[in-house]
Structure 1
């Protein structure tokens, strides 16, 4: 059997996000490294004590979400089945490269810090993201054109993340409500990720990747998917180009999930924080089990579920 590992993006940070990983000895070095990147603040303490605004700052949020994915992978790696498919949502794609073994886990944390810094430098004050579900792609495209916004992420089931200036997103949301959109929510991210507004960040991050030690192939039995086209990553230099371009290009998450299914996924596990990706996978492919690590009350419970995949 083949398990699809889904690495979460930023936005769903919450006080209990490290409940299963925070005390895992396999993850201790990762939390220490993340603390160094956060100015000495332990992420496990930070998520409990800092204000909501602080943990959703772009750089902080990217580090928190990435350390969770990498900590979960380190904790569960001994229980992985022999065949894995790995895909990452937004910043989760950097974590996915770490989970796949293409970069060391601490290097992946360094990369997301540099990635966030490049994004912040390229971003305008007030930029952000908006979630819309229930309108056709043609309608969403027309709204984006009218309000100078862009489709940042394509999710399954006519669900989209849109990026742009804050005032433009507010006006777009009002129009979308009048058109009967089923759900409209501002995302807790303060940059217009995956839009052309961050083109300069893609260029800068590609330079960072050129300086980074990257392995020539993923771990044995692992297939890694690219976010911007949903295809299996077979060529490392081309994959690095896509990883950098993803900052300023639309993430085709629906295509990633479809690619996982075509590659033979028999189950999905989201590493967190949150379980939005597991819910998307489960609703799109209801015959395939889809769990989030936050579904389990203990690490042993998660390991027992993984044992079903052989």
Structure 2
């Protein structure tokens, strides 16, 4: 049996996101590293006390989400089987490289901070993302072309994340609502995964040139690339795709299909939030899929893994 590990992107941050991982001794060094990147603010205090929107700002959000994935992987290292298949949604793809052992965890946090800085430097004021459900890929593409937006992420079940300037997104949303689509404004301040961030992809690729990558990973994990859902087959090709992902459409539906084709029999989302595990449950209701946020203790996560994966 094979476990698929899903690393979340931004949007699901909340005050209790470190409830299970915050006191795990295996993750203490990661919280210390993230504290330095957050200007000396302890991440656990940061999420509980932040009220001015910084929780969802691009740089802090990317650091926090990546920290949660890395901390969860460290705390559950004794229970997670080797040779897992790992996929990450948006910035979660960088976290997936850390969880899978391609990058050291501390390096992963630093890289994510520099990724966010490159994106912020290349972003246009007022840019953002919206979620659209209920229209076909063709209809969504035509709305984007009409109003100057772009498809940022393709999710299963006629669900899309669109990126662009706020005026363009508002126009798309108005037309989509008239077509009876569901629209949600996302708490993200950049047009991630669109050509508006092409410069950030170039800068981030230079950042990645100095990264030490352990390929193939000693864990035997299979890491999927976000822009096509294909396994990372070499360090250089994987890094090219990881940088390109900032300004290219993320094919998340393909990533989930890639997990299934790799033999996944259970899905564990490391959080924060439940969005990815709920996507899995929506398309494959017979497969067990849970998020760390569903549990009250790490022991509960371990028991669930043992029940659905058996002895690995």
Structure 1 length-normalised TM: 0.98
Matched residue, 2:49: 49
1:16 is displaced (CA, Å) by 0.7
1:254 is displaced (CA, Å) by 0.2
Where 2:84 maps in the other structure, the secondary structure is strand
- Give me the CA root mean square deviation: 0.8
Where 1:221 maps in the other structure, the secondary structure is coil
What is the CA deviation profile of residues 178-217 of structure 1, one whole-angstrom value per residue up to 9, with x for unaligned ones? 0111x20011100000000000000000000001111121
Matched residue, 2:120: 120
In the alignment, the residues of structure 2 paired with residue 220 and residue 178 of structure 1 have an alpha-carbon distance, to the nearest angstrom, of 49
Where 2:76 maps in the other structure, the secondary structure is helix
Matched residue, 1:107: 107
Which stretches of structure 1, 4 residues or more, deviate above 4 A after TM superposition? Answer: none
Where does structure 2 lack aligned partners over 5 or more consecutive residues?
none
What is the CA deviation profile of residues 6-55 of structure 1, one whole-angstrom value per residue up to 9, with x for unaligned ones? 00001111111111001111111100100000000011001011115111
Matched residue, 2:94: 94
Matched residue, 2:198: 199
In the alignment, the residues of structure 2 paired with residue 266 and residue 31 of structure 1 have an alpha-carbon distance, to the nearest angstrom, of 31
Matched residue, 1:220: 219
Matched residue, 1:283: 282
What is the CA deviation profile of residues 86-115 of structure 1, one whole-angstrom value per residue up to 9, with x for unaligned ones? 000000000000001011101000000000
Mapped pair 1:82 → 2:82: yes
Aligned residues: 309
In the alignment, the residues of structure 1 paired with residue 64 and residue 27 of structure 2 have an alpha-carbon distance, to the nearest angstrom, of 13
CA contact (8 A) 1:150 1:162 kept: yes
Mapped pair 1:147 → 2:147: yes
In the alignment, the residues of structure 2 paired with residue 163 and residue 190 of structure 1 have an alpha-carbon distance, to the nearest angstrom, of 10
What is the CA deviation profile of residues 33-88 of structure 1, one whole-angstrom value per residue up to 9, with x for unaligned ones? 00000000011001011115111110000000000000000000110123300000
Where 1:77 maps in the other structure, the secondary structure is coil
In the alignment, the residues of structure 2 paired with residue 269 and residue 146 of structure 1 have an alpha-carbon distance, to the nearest angstrom, of 38
CA contact (8 A) 2:8 2:88 kept: yes
Where 1:15 maps in the other structure, the secondary structure is coil
CA contact (8 A) 1:81 1:306 kept: no
Matched residue, 1:260: 259
